[in-house]
Chain A
Amino acid sequence: MNIATEFWTWNAAILTIAIFSFLWRDNPLYRIAEHLYIGVANGYSITLTYFNVVVPMMIDPLVNAGKMVKQDGFSTAVLNPFNDANFFIILPMMVGALYITRFIPKISWMVRIPIGLTMGYYTAISIPASFEAGILRQLEASIVTRAQLAEFWPGFWTIVILLSTLATLIYFFFSTEQKGVLRPISNFGILMVMIGFGASFGLTVMARISLAIGRFIFLFKDWLGVVS
């Protein structure tokens, strides 16, 4: 047995055990670890956002633009949003600052402006991307051509993929009752979906077990030193 002497190893081991103690039931040790985890994660995130977003995207352009104006006088270059030094950044900053208006009841409705802009922007971004990655690429992969049937097994699986895709799409068709000929087709569709989920479940569980093994190796090797 070669127990660790480093403070941070002990710290990590105690916190690991504290989190594992939830398997028994909710207890003060778990609560301490939970609150510590949330607090540290929040603090880390705020610091990261400040140095990776606020400073390079807001403070630096304004400060640099100020320096440029002081040295060379005012020019339209400081209004160009593509320049590293620009005052244009003030506009999105003002829109972002409207999130804070929700603390002022009389003008709290203004929070809807950045929310509307954000939702509209991201909806517009995600729709073409979803069509491309989620529909057209899948469509492309499902179509069977003569060349794909050149060899038996690849050809067989191509046909299985096509039939499964068609049946699954029919299962998720909500505009009609699933009866008559549609019933066996949609049953086949959901069967294929469940087979897929089963395979995915097994694969992911194996990955999770390897994570758990990693934690136990840390406890028994790095901390307690009972395994080599």
Chain B
Amino acid sequence: MKLANGLIGCFVLSLALSLNAFCQEIPLVDPDPVPVPVSIDDRVFESPREVVAADVDNDDGGVIHVAWKEPAGSTPDHYIVEMAGPDGIWQRVTETVLLDYDVMDLPNFTPMSFRVAAVYGDKVFRSDEVTGAMARDHWLKLGKIPVLLAIAIFIALLVFFIISARLGRELFVRRITGLNAVEDAIGRATEMGRPVLYVPGTSYIEDVATLAALNILGEVARRTVHYDVKIIVPNIDPIVFAIAREIVKETYNSEGRPDAFDPDSVFFMVPEQFAYAAGVNGIMVRQEPATIFFMGWFAAESLIMAETGASTGAVQIAGTDDLGQLPFFITACDYTLIGEELYAASAYLGNEPILLGTLKTQDYSKLVFIIVMVILTVLGLIFPHLDVISWIQVR
């Protein structure tokens, strides 16, 4: 708490200091003198000087950086960068008024030659050739070190909390209203004798929201087995479908009810967004599920489905990390898990120590990022010459 008070104090002090500084006049730097225009006849025509072509460090390969200096005599209209491969055939890469250029999409480990031409009206003056420049890929991208550090912090916290959970330490998580409603909503479906519809989003398996939705599916399926309620899971992606089916099947097995698993309850519908929405709407109005879950990533179909679900009188619980669709779910659904709550849901519902450890990791990672943000802001305000943003900048 003392640390927090200290940080807040520092933060407020530095804001006050900077606002004070901000009211003072900032000295203006004299602009560069405008060059006096000269007629083309007065110019001295020369080729670009000191042309250099070198591989770009810390990249995926395929890029060579070409740089040159302006001709000593006068500024040309523009430059032309040319290159030749091992076959020796020269080709134009680009025209530019700048003094360097990144040539992209080159083959790695292939010697290339470059030259730069200065263009004055219809006159072209070429530099000497620079030969033997080779693009290559690199093992380390030093510009990504902030990502590596962030992941290292995350993994360290994850290991710490999982070990803590395994050692039996109690991990506190506050109430999340939307998730408390899950139990009641499935209970309602039991009382009404109607199915539960689970829509696992309209994205692919590589999406974090889809992975979270599949985690939650396991917990929802566990409750439907417990209450003996039918669950319907239509899928838009064949791979997500295969995984969702395995999750539901495995849940029925682990709950001791493999006979109750209906293979047709989890199915692939169609891989097209609005066709999928039309199909899900059809299920809503014909099978009249008592409870509908929308979990995962959604796009423009979110309101179409949520409005139809609301018109059938179903209890709707939505969760997504898509900022564009959250307002629609908040409007049309009874409960909405906003962003981070979606990721926390499976741990919260499962109440398993290891999953709670991951939830704690998310939380304390946020705390680390809050502290980093405050410290860097304080430093940035007190010491303006420090380029604090570059410390966490990913290149």
Contact = CB atoms under 8 A, between A and B. Distances in A.
Interface of A: 19, 22, 25-26, 31, 33-34, 37-38, 40-42, 44-45, 99, 102, 111-112, 114-115, 118-119, 122-123, 125-128, 130-132, 135-137, 139-140, 142-147, 149-150, 152, 155, 159, 162, 165-166, 169-170, 172-178, 193, 196-198, 200-201, 204, 208
B368 to A, nearest CB: 10
30 contacts: A19-B278, A38-B269, A41-B270, A41-B271, A44-B272, A102-B242, A102-B245, A119-B211, A122-B211, A126-B211, A128-B151, A130-B208, A131-B147, A131-B154, A132-B147, A135-B150, A136-B146, A136-B393, A139-B369, A145-B389, A147-B384, A149-B22, A162-B377, A172-B338, A175-B171, A175-B173, A196-B323, A197-B323, A200-B326, A208-B300
B121 to A, nearest CB: 41
A37 B282 CA distance: 12
A136 B392 contact: yes
Contact of B242 (A22, A115, A144): A115
A169 B242 contact: no
B381 A144 contact: yes
A170 B370 contact: yes
B98 interface: no
B394 A136 contact: yes
Interface string B285-305: 110000000000000100100
A123 B208 CA distance: 8
Interface string B234-245: 000001001101
Given A136-B146, A169-B370, A201-B328, A143 B271 contact: no
Contacts of B245: 102
B369 A140 contact: no
A134 B270 CA distance: 30
B18 interface: yes
Given A146-B21, A146-B380, 12 more contacts: A34-B281, A42-B270, A102-B242, A115-B243, A123-B211, A128-B151, A131-B147, A132-B144, A146-B22, A173-B363, A174-B363, A198-B327
Pick from A122, A162, A177 the residue with the most CB of B within 10 Å: A122
Interface in B330-346: 330-331, 338-341, 344
B275 A38 contact: yes
A165 B377 CA distance: 13
Contacts of B331: 201
B19 interface: yes
Nearest to A146: B384
B358 to A, nearest CB: 12
B326 A197 contact: yes
A119 B15 contact: no
Contacts of A144: 15, 18, 377, 380-381
Dominant secondary structure at the B interface: helix
Contacts of A128: 144, 147, 151
Interface string B158-176: 0000000000000111101
B217 interface: no
Given A102-B242, A166-B374, A37 B389 contact: no
Given A115-B243, A128-B147, A41 B324 contact: no
B279 interface: yes
> Which 10 A-B residue pairings sit nearest by Cβ, starting from the closest?
A41-B272, A146-B384, A122-B206, A201-B327, A145-B380, A41-B275, A197-B327, A172-B340, A149-B22, A26-B285
B176 A174 contact: yes
A35 to B, nearest CB: 8
Contact of B22 (A139, A150, A178): A150
A184 B323 CA distance: 23
Contact of A143 (B272, B323, B363, B389): B389
A22 B281 contact: yes
Given A143-B377, A166-B370, A178-B174, A125 B243 contact: no
